[in-house]
Amino acid sequence: MRRTYYLITLVFALVFLNNIVSAQCKGFAKKICKLELIPYIHDGNYHAAILTEGEEAELYKTFYSGQDYRLAICGSDALPDIEFKVIDAYKNVLYDNTEHNKSRVWDFNLDASQQLKITVKVPNSNTESEYPASGCVAIMFGFLDEE
């Protein structure tokens, strides 16, 4: 009985801590990363996660033709510069920030509406440390108001 109590307590603690970390990461996206979108209008979604050096994440998003977009990627100061690529359904790389001095933003307009895959990677830093760096990485989208 006592063992079950400890197990249930541990599960609740882990869920609670995960919610706190997610909320802090979302707060980072709102306060810091959203500024990267100016003068574009934020789409209202906050895509953020805790990543560690060497980890990758991907996100799929639909974009519409004739609309001007800005994609902004930012990471916590503890992390090295985030790498990202934008890939279409045919696996063509539309943008790779490693070819653009690891730029944090990409402004674009598409000829046809399509779903794109955005991959982000936290590269390994060159510093020798016992533990890899870990921190929040956010992917933000904005659009220009055509009115």
Token pair of 21, please? Answer: 């970390």
pLDDT tens profile 9-67: 444 443 333 443 456 788 878 888 888 999 999 999 999 999 999 999 999 999 999 99
Give the lowest-confidence range in 19-28, 83-92, 112-121.
19-28
pTM confidence score: 0.79
pLDDT at 104 over 70: yes
Domains of the chain: 2-143 (2.60.120.380)
Per-residue pLDDT, 53: 94
